[in-house]
Amino acid sequence: MRRYPLALLAAALVAALAGGPALPAAMGPIKIGLVTATSGVFAPNGRDMINGFDLALKEAGGQGAGRPIQLLVEDDQGLPGPSLTKARKLVELEKVDLLTGPLAASSGYVLRDYVDEQKIPALFPVVSSDDLTQRKTSPWVVRTGWTSSQPNHPFGEYAAKTLDYKRITTIAYDFAFGWETVEGFQDTFEQNGGRVVEHLWPPIGAPDYSPYLGRIQNVDAVYATFSGNDALRFLQQYRAFGLMGRVPLIGNGTLTDEHILFQENDLAKGIITPLHYSAALGTAANRAFVRAYVRAYNRVPSYYSEACYTGMNVILKALAATGGRIEDRAAFVAAMRKVTLPDAPRGPLRFDAYGAPVQNVYIRRVDIVNGEPQNTVIYTYPRVSQFWTFNPADYLKRPVYTRDVPPAHP
pLDDT value at position 358?
98
Residue 239 burial (CB < 10 Å; 0-12/13-18/19+)?
A: middle
- Domains of the chain: residue spans and CATH: 2-148+282-359 (3.40.50.2300), 152-276+360-395 (3.40.50.2300)
160/185 Cα distance (integer angstroms):
10
**Whether pLDDT at 5 is above 50:** no
Question: In 3D, which of 254, 118, 232, 261 has the Cα closest to residue 177?
Answer: 254
126/103 Cα distance (integer angstroms):
6
Please give the mean pLDDT across all residues of the chain. 93
pLDDT value at position 27?
80
**Whether pLDDT at 256 is above 50:** yes
Query: Which residues make Cβ contacts (< 8 Å) with residue 192, sequence separation at least 6?
Result: 156, 157, 160, 161
* Confidence at 3, pLDDT banded by 50, 70, 90: low
pLDDT, average across residues 26-53: 93
> pLDDT by residue (tens digit) across 143-188?
999 999 999 999 999 999 999 999 999 999 999 999 999 999 999 9
**Whether pLDDT at 318 is above 90:** yes
pLDDT, average across residues 214-231: 96
pLDDT value at position 7?
39
**Whether pLDDT at 12 is above 60:** no
**Whether pLDDT at 8 is above 80:** no
96/29 Cα distance (integer angstroms):
10
pLDDT, average across residues 64-89: 96
* Confidence at 9, pLDDT banded by 50, 70, 90: very low
3-state secondary structure (DSSP) of residue 246: coil
pLDDT, average across residues 112-126: 96
* Confidence at 106, pLDDT banded by 50, 70, 90: confident
Cα R_g (the chain), whole angstroms: 21
- Output 331-335 pairs: Cβ under 8 A, ≥24 positions apart: 332/98, 332/121, 333/121, 333/139, 333/140, 333/142
Contact 197, 219 (CB under 8 A): yes
> pLDDT by residue (tens digit) across 15-31?
333 343 444 546 899 99
pLDDT value at position 26?
60
pLDDT value at position 277?
98
pLDDT value at position 21?
40
> pLDDT by residue (tens digit) across 267-314?
999 999 999 999 999 999 999 999 999 999 999 999 999 999 999 999
pLDDT, average across residues 117-124: 97
Contact 302, 48 (CB under 8 A): yes
**Whether pLDDT at 88 is above 70:** yes
**Whether pLDDT at 119 is above 60:** yes
Out of 3-7, 104-108, 140-144, 177-181, least confident range: 3-7
